Amino acid sequence: MGTRKRLIGNRAFYAMVLAVAVPIMVQNGITSFVNLLDNIMVGRVGTEQMSGVAIANQLIMIFDLGIFGGLSGAGIFAAQYFGSGNLEGVRNTFRIKLYIGLVVVLAAVGVFLVFGRPLVMLFLQGDADVGDPEATAAHALAYMRIMMLGFFPFMLTQVYASTLKECSETLLPMKAAVAAVLTNLVLNYLLIFGKLGLPALGGQGAAAATVVSRFVELVIVLLGTHRHPDRYAFVRGLYRTLLVPASLLRGILAKGIPLLANELLWAGSMAMLSQCYSLRGLSVVAAMNITTTVTNLFSVVLMAMGNSVAIIVGQQLGSGDLERARDTDRKLIAFAVALSILVGGVLALVSPYIPLIYKTEPMVRKLASTLLLIGALEMPIDALAVTGYFTIRSGGKTFLTFLFDSAYSWVFTIPLAYCLVHFTALPIVPLFFIVRFSNIVKGAIGLILVRSGFWCQNIVLENP
């Protein structure tokens, strides 16, 4: 088979991929765009509020990814059960997701209530070159307290939405997300700036808008799923029992605990990186906030392609068509890298202009523009790492995904950043460049693991 046939699919292949990926891109894209607008609105209030919200969101991201990681182990089984036509297996994975999600919510609320302030203060150890650290901390804690009210509806929405996606239904989660982000956008404007007679709440208004939007998303997903049991057959008898087979629970925990640990540790590593960068000053905290929010918007294409790998390849593995799964995976990775080059090019072109929207100091805008350019150049490396991660995960090799993702970050990336921050006088720009481009090692490892093919297995045969 020639290189072109190995890496490039036909029209039917890309139609199949886009049918799965585009709704995910739209959903995540709208969410990230509204997060960007939210970020800009808070940024118009002032640097302290913007930085406080950014720090709180860095910590809340650990909860979000804890939910993602906790549900992912069951999701591997759900995709393969659906591929093999076993709807009762899908129902059992859904029930297990509920239990896992509740544990993560309770743990997160407990940690934030007890350790919220010490965690926030970790990000405020650098020079106060812009803004007041105490005021920034107060804004972060106020924002976090309100956001915790949305943890449960967020978790339940993810349980439903992830199961729907694993059953190849991506439109309903997309529609719910669109409604939620539009709600969030309108309420952000009203509550942050105090329009239509409402109080101007700044960052707390942004948190309140997010919580309301999460309830809106949950209601739409619940009604849309349970009103159409003919379309979403797994909901028939879904709550007939909450008992699950012990063997399946053991299997999911065996696969899922490494994924949960991975997501928590990976999110922790991102928080640790931000903490390292923050030691270069509060201006870096503000610039990193802009950089992260804007880069997340452009990265939705990569994450959608990663999710497509998990869904499409997982279903093909579940159906027993292992050779087709390997061929599909190769083409998906090549497609993801090509898209990342395109998206990175667009981000590079707009990187000088986006920071100008923010009402912050000129030095923060200039720094954010440079960091955005570095992120744009590194996107193809991220594409290899993301698709490699989801490939290995689709075959149930979850302990290896743990080593590949979060263990790599803590063993290699974090020590690199820590040493550069504490033992050199490197300014933030070359420091950020070195840390980001060190991911080329991770991308190469991902390619080697994917090409080995050892991940290619059907795991639901063990739990029929």
- Sequence length of the chain is 464
Which sign, positive or negative, has the C-alpha torsion 25, 31, 32, 36?
positive
Scan for tokens 């059953």, then name that residue: 167
State the distance between the two ends of the chain, measured CA to CA, in whole angstroms: 35
Q: What are the helix (H) ranges across 167-244?
A: 171-193, 203-226
For residue 147, give the nearest of 199, 108, 107, 192 by alpha carbon. Answer: 108
Q: pLDDT, tens digit, for every residue of 1-54? A: 456 667 777 788 888 888 888 887 876 777 677 667 776 777 777 777 877 887
pLDDT, residue 22, reads 83
Scan for tokens 């007890």, then name that residue: 114
Going from N- to C-terminal start, the domains of the chain cover 3-458
Contact 315, 82 (CB under 8 A): yes
Q: pLDDT, tens digit, for every residue of 345-364? A: 999 999 999 888 877 788 88
pLDDT, residue 221, reads 94
Q: pLDDT, tens digit, for every residue of 248-271? A: 888 888 877 777 787 788 878 888
- pLDDT tens across the length of the chain (464 residues): 456 667 777 788 888 888 888 887 876 777 677 667 776 777 777 777 877 887 888 788 888 888 888 888 788 788 778 877 888 888 888 999 999 999 999 999 999 999 989 988 887 775 555 567 788 888 889 999 999 999 999 999 999 998 998 887 878 988 898 898 889 889 988 998 888 888 888 888 989 999 999 999 999 999 999 998 888 888 888 888 888 888 888 888 887 777 778 778 887 888 888 888 888 887 888 888 889 888 888 888 888 888 888 888 877 887 777 788 888 888 888 999 999 999 999 999 999 998 888 777 888 889 999 999 999 999 999 999 888 888 887 777 777 877 888 888 899 999 999 999 999 989 999 999 999 999 999 888 888 888 887 777 766 655 54
pLDDT, residue 131, reads 60
Scan for tokens 């020639």, then name that residue: 2
CA torsion 389→391→394→398, rounded to 10°? -40
Which pTM was predicted? 0.72
Contact 443, 384 (CB under 8 A): yes
pLDDT, residue 417, reads 93
The Cα 288–Cα 302 span in angstroms is 20
